[in-house]
Amino acid sequence: MQTALIIDDDRSIVTTLEIYLEELGFSVHSAATAAKGLELLKTCHPDIVFLDLKLPDQNGLDILKEMIAAEPLCAIIIITAYATIDTAVRAVKMGAFDYLPKPFTPAQITRVIEMIKRVNKLESQVRTLKGITQEGGLITRSRRMAKILKTARQVADSTATVLITGESGTGKGLLARLIHDWSHRASAPFVMVDCAGLYENLLESDLFGHRKGAFTGAIEDKEGKLKIADNGTVFLDEVSEMTPSIQAKLLRFLQNREFERLGDTESIRVDVRVVGATNKSLEDLVAEGHFRQDLYFRMNVVELNLPPLRERPEDIRILAEFYLKRFALLNEKKVSGFTEDTLERLETYKWPGNIRELVNVIERGTILSRGNQLTFRELPPHIADSNKMPVDRESFKSLAEMEKNHIQHILSQTDSIDDASKILGIDPATLWRKRKKYNID
Ligand SMILES: Nc1ncnc2c1ncn2[C@@H]1O[C@H](COP(=O)(O)OP(=O)(O)OP(=O)(O)O)[C@@H](O)[C@H]1O
Ligand SMILES: [Mg+2]
């Protein structure tokens, strides 16, 4: 189902739109302020947004840019009164899809939605022709990635636990989110738990919840994320960091879908799909005795291994171009492309931090850019510099070696110690000591 978001403080407009959109099969969210609207945009990833230009807390135009940057694939329709048509036109120039003058009719809404569908279809055909996949913000043209995405789609609707592995910054978090969005759980919560970010007690209570008084500081009952995510998905990031006692409790949950809150004896049953992620080898951790083998088997019913960016160089260019557009828009820069040698450099660099590193480099470059094109000058030194002639480290010499060679050379060109020491700028006694040290006769 498609999702729409309405950001307008006029209750009657919201209600009217809600009725039309629901009839057209949309799941509809609404917000009466810019702040709430932005928050919803980032959590419900709508396909269409209806944005009023006059909001109580901020001007709609001010948040438009941020919205486009956060959800570049979402179509934004400006709702406008007659008096603000000029601004609406400006909004369209900034990247909004279209505007609807108030009051509008159902026919107008149907027409604009048809248009969005047509444009989306054309864009997706263009991408298919170029071999690019672009779904939920995940961009790729790598065949290896396409296979992984296919498997992810196939398992999305099952309750099978999925383990996503891959180096840091390869898109594990993004893929976890997509699996949720592709599943029948999409309208229920997607809840993330960072297993590395919390102390044992806190993590346990975060995941399973606690009863008042379960530990010092537990001043009231708390619902755990497993419960909050009922009917949805829990994403356990950095699963390798769970302590043995949490591993045991999670194992029990994966076996019979039941758990207890801390300090409670009553069992809670929930219907939650678990997706785990790790950049470590759980197999190694099992071998070293740091991760339970039975839990490992339960977790990786389906394992999706995301290749590092250097193993899919065909993705570098499209990712760089996508993020350049996004950051240019966000920072009001006119840069719209790369010089060819800069792109080539990006394509040969090894990207140890993967896509996250690429995104950061493009953001920095965009901010520093002054013209229409991003050049070497805007790349961080360690990326720009390695383009210089490769250096032969074997030929590097120590200072002592150079001193020895230099003294030998001067001695061979002079007739007396006095003469040589004068040229070298040291006294004859020092020269004598150095000759002894370096075995020069
Ligand atoms: N294929 C992709 N297309 C577009 N953006 C991507 C892609 N893969 C990753 N990204 C972006 O790169 C950044 C890092 O991705 P993500 O956080 O999912 O990686 P991760 O594997 O979870 O990293 P870590 O192990 O460090 O948590 C995010 O901003 C994400 O949106
Ligand atoms: Mg992550």
Task: Output the 3-class SS for 85-97.
Answer: HHHHHHHHHHCCC
Closest atom of ligand 1 relative to the 164 alpha carbon: 21
36 and 54 part of one domain: yes
| pLDDT computed for residue 394 by the predictor | 59
Asked if residue 67 is part of any domain, the answer here is yes
- Residue to probe by mutation, ligand 1, list 135, 143, 174, most atoms within 8 Å of CB: 174
Q: Which two tokens stand for residue 203?
A: 């993590």
Same domain, 198 and 101: no
Query: pTM for this one?
Result: 0.75
Query: Which of 127, 146, 179 finishes a domain?
Result: 127
> Is 356 close to ligand 1, i.e. is its CB under 6 Å away?
yes
**391 pLDDT higher than 70:** no
Angle between helix axes 60-70 and 34-44 (nearest 10 degrees) is: 10
* Separation of alpha carbons 158 and 162, rounded Å: 10
pLDDT of residue 401: 86
Tokens representing 355 are: 């896509």
pLDDT of 405 higher than 70: yes
- Which amino acid type is present at position 7? I
Residues 283 and 368 in one domain: no
Number of domains into which the chain is organized:
4
| CA–CA dist 373, 340 (Å, integer) | 10
Per the domain annotation, does 364 fall within a domain? Answer: yes
Q: Report residue 243 as tokens.
A: 């302590």
- Please provide residue 349's backbone torsions phi and psi, each rounded to the nearest 5 degrees: -65, 150
What confidence score (pLDDT) does residue 389 get?
43
Residue 287 and residue 149 share a domain? yes
In a domain, residue 132? The reply is no
Does a structural domain hold residue 133?
A: no
Looking from the CA of residue 170, the nearest atom of ligand 1 is 21
Tell me the C-alpha distance between 220 and 242, whole Å: 25
Residue 392 has pLDDT above 70, yes or no: no
Residue 253 pLDDT level (bands cut at 50, 70, 90): very high
Residue 392 lies in a domain: no
Question: Long-range contacts made by residues 239-244, C-beta under 8 angstroms, separation at least 24?
Answer: 239/163, 239/195, 239/276, 239/277, 239/278, 239/282, 239/299, 240/195, 240/278, 240/280, 240/282, 240/285, 240/290, 240/291, 241/195, 241/196, 242/195, 242/203, 243/200, 243/203, 244/292
What is the CA(179)–ligand 2 centre distance, in A? 14
Residue 397: which pLDDT band, with cuts at 50, 70 and 90? confident
List Cα–Cα distances, 12 to 102, 108, 209, 370, in angstroms: 12, 17, 40, 46
Report how far apart, in Å, the C-alpha atoms of 192 and of each of 24, 300, 354 are. Answer: 32, 18, 22
Q: Are residues 198 and 250 in the same domain?
A: yes
Counting residues of the chain whose pLDDT is more than 90, the rounded percentage is 70
Same domain, 253 and 372: no
Residue 112 sits at φ, ψ, to 5 deg, of -65, -35
Dihedral, CA of residue 282, residue 230, residue 169 and residue 340, to nearest 10: 140
Residue 378 domain boundaries: 310-387
pLDDT score for 390: 44
Closest CA to 190 of 361, 382, 7, 45: 45
Taking the CA of 170 as reference, the closest ligand is 1
Least confident segment among 237-246, 309-318, 396-405: 396-405
User: Residue 281 is part of a domain; what is its CATH number?
Assistant: 3.40.50.300
Is 342 a member of any domain? yes
Render pLDDT for 256-295 as a digit per residue (tens, 0 to 9).
Answer: 999 999 999 999 999 999 999 999 999 999 999 999 999 9
121 and 156 housed in the same domain: no
If asked whether residues 103 and 58 sit together in one domain, one would say yes
pLDDT band at 1 (very low <50, low <70, confident <90, very high): low
CATH number of domain containing 334? 1.10.8.60
Residue 256 and residue 162 share a domain: yes
Give me the mean pLDDT over the 229-256 stretch.
95
Beta-sheet strands, E only, within 53-196: 75-80, 98-101, 133-135, 138-140, 162-165, 190-194
**Model confidence over 18-39: pLDDT tens digits?**
999 999 889 999 999 999 999 9
Across 245-305, the runs of DSSP E, i.e. the strands, are: 258-260, 267-269, 273-278, 302-305
At 147, is the pLDDT very low, low, confident or very high (cuts 50, 70, 90)?
A: very high
The pLDDT of residue 338 is: 97
| Residue 366 forms part of a structural domain | yes
The residue nearest atom 8 of ligand 1, judged by CA position, is: 171
Q: What is the CATH number of the domain that holds 42?
A: 3.40.50.2300
Residue 393: the pLDDT is: 60
Do both 270 and 342 map to the same domain?
no
Residue 356 contacts residue 168 (beta carbons within 8 Å)? yes
Q: Measure Cα distances from 333 to 186, 323, 327 in Å.
A: 36, 13, 8
Q: Is the peptide bond before 46 cis (omega within 30 degrees of 0)?
A: no
Task: Give the list of residues 6+ apart from residue 415 with CB closer than 8 angstroms, or none.
Answer: none
Model pLDDT for residues 65-121, shown as the tens digit of each residue: 889 888 888 999 999 876 678 888 889 988 899 999 888 898 999 999 999 988 888
Task: Assess whether 44 and 59 both reside in one domain.
Answer: yes
Does some domain include residue 154?
yes
Same domain, 418 and 300: no
